[in-house]
Structure 1
């Protein structure tokens, strides 16, 4: 929290306005300058929740788009505090001063391949930062309910498809995945020991307006416009990467339902649940490129290369529907049944919406920062 007079007063006034609620919910969203956090915070505020954001504006990808997301949120009435999850005094102040009822914990060091270059950043943010957040929550009275981001990457070397929450996830293929698996185990202990209600969400390759520049839909769009070749990874025998590309509005639906349905954080009522939030229809990266070509109106240059040993998995496929699960004779927790989660956006429709946003956001061309950006 700012220590000097005028800055502190502005902080407190803005945060107080941001957390005004007509619903009784006051939601701390960590990672509001990030892709999913931005969209969720905007949705919560629009329906009348009190919302406060927190983000450290990590420079893993160009920060200009992060500041633009945060500014757009502030224009909508959501204030983003620039702070790190490991700033325990800030977390204590936010949770207790503004009587936070729910936490949507989305802040994390993202990316699978970058973890081979800077593994310590993943431990600091995804593990240590997550523990600090839960420690701050357990000392609140009443304790807030917590929904946190896991990842489809936790399925790692699992060869059974589609992925189900009942599958073993003890063979991660990347350091990033290992930290997300750690989050799930840590969340379980805090539910068991302290009665914190915990819901984990395993996201499957999210895309859409205001997306992450390091993700394929965004980076491929830039390269197609520039006329640069797209690198497409292939597995054994020329097999191609498949992803369960999931449109942002569908992911927001799942996040909101998780926040709305999580029970109170008490020893008697708290739960520990994990859900897949995917699209259930995995497609090849080549098909994604074809969707981009149609939306942009320009052909891509494709360069197929062997998949590097950096932790990517060949296929991700979420098992989210009851029909799919019955066919596979699975009887575990179901996102469709418990969250009424029903993704509806086709890949082509989602890509069309993304390109419409991209064309408007970059109507004057890429920023200098984005033009020189090379994803890991």
Structure 2
């Protein structure tokens, strides 16, 4: 297939592009390369795919020096005119939209960034799919949509009308927007609620990166909610495998779906939402212990209260993913952390 992946300077997008290029798909990567976090990591991800920083120019497609079937363009999703031109010229078979303004805490100080990238940008993706005949769209949602829900494990059949951050609200909005376009225009859309993704090339604003950096620099770490957090940490390779299966098996309308007893994760339209999580929540203090084991020393800790916008626990019910895709993430946390720490030491030479 010819696939557009947005967010390919990002964590998940860079891994997905590598996987699809390796299996022979023609891939166009897109990213705005914003400065939300250390751009060295973003350019490093691109460079390992043969996209060198010095040849990147806004709006210009760049050919990978390593892969004949991979090109990249620096572009903002809010730039509707340029996005339409890209769709018109390239004629994609499928789109996987992973580009977004990420981060729960950042949304408390910079709400406009989430409206621009996650709402306006996603609308532009939907409109481009509509007008340029792309009927296979997968996109990143988030476990944060579960908000105030305390019923564990989180199921896609649960109500998600009580988000507690603008980031979460923007992701729920994406799901609603996608359903509308599935219903009105027949675009097959699949939303993926990711659960705390980690691994090599991970985001510098995430706990694993922050904790590892602090530990190797001899600094203490801030542990929120006094360490009483549960997270369904999911290794990057498991996430990518789930996305690939979704791209290869786009959503279908369910004839048995009933508006009298509506399942929010499916529809009579070709629309679906999946959880992608490890289905095995880990205590934050146990996660930190695994980092200490990988690094070989204890990390000093400062216990902090729960931060605004954070939820105390995440736990994914992945029944639908298992039934529909015959797949369930399974990488052990210690194995994943060991691989991340090895990558971190190599990339930052520490």
Query: Is residue 343 of structure 2 the alignment partner of residue 352 of structure 1?
Result: no
In 1, Cα distance between equivalents of 2:296 and 2:101: 34
Number of aligned residue pairs: give it.
Answer: 320
TM-score, structure 1 as length reference:
0.83
1:303, distance to aligned residue in structure 2 (A): 1.2
Provide the residue aligned with 1:219 in structure 2: 210
Provide the residue aligned with 2:86 in structure 1: 94
Match of residue 70, structure 1, among 46, 49, 54: 46
Provide the residue aligned with 1:315 in structure 2: 313
Match of residue 232, structure 2, among 228, 241, 244: 244
1:30, distance to aligned residue in structure 2 (A): 0.2
**Preserved contact between residue 235 and residue 333 of structure 2 (Cα < 8 Å):** yes
**Preserved contact between residue 94 and residue 100 of structure 1 (Cα < 8 Å):** no
In 2, Cα distance between equivalents of 1:131 and 1:341: 30
Provide the residue aligned with 1:325 in structure 2: none
1:270, distance to aligned residue in structure 2 (A): 6.1
Give the 3 Å change call, closer, same or farther, for CA 270–50 of structure 1 in structure 2. Answer: farther
Provide the residue aligned with 1:26 in structure 2: 2
Give the unaligned 5+ runs of structure 2. 51-64, 254-267
1:360, distance to aligned residue in structure 2 (A): 1.3
In 1, Cα distance between equivalents of 2:78 and 2:305: 38
1:264, distance to aligned residue in structure 2 (A): 8.2
**Preserved contact between residue 251 and residue 271 of structure 2 (Cα < 8 Å):** no
In 2, Cα distance between equivalents of 1:153 and 1:340: 25
Query: Is residue 14 of structure 2 the alignment partner of residue 38 of structure 1?
Result: yes
Provide the residue aligned with 2:76 in structure 1: 84
Provide the residue aligned with 1:305 in structure 2: 304
**Preserved contact between residue 144 and residue 264 of structure 1 (Cα < 8 Å):** no
Q: What is the root-mean-square deviation of aligned Cα atoms in Å?
A: 1.5
**Preserved contact between residue 227 and residue 285 of structure 2 (Cα < 8 Å):** no
Structure 2 counterparts to residues 1-376 of structure 1, below 5 A: 25-74=1-50, 75-77=65-67, 78-140=70-132, 142-234=133-225, 240-262=228-250, 271-308=270-307, 310-321=308-319, 334-363=320-349, 365=350
Give the 3 Å change call, closer, same or farther, for CA 155–76 of structure 1 in structure 2. Answer: farther
Q: Residue deviations 1:301-327, cap 9 Å, x none?
A: 01111112x200000000114xxxxxx
1:263, distance to aligned residue in structure 2 (A): 5.1
Q: Residue 304 of structure 2 aligns to a residue in which SS?
A: strand
In 1, Cα distance between equivalents of 2:20 and 2:219: 39
TM-score, structure 2 as length reference:
0.89
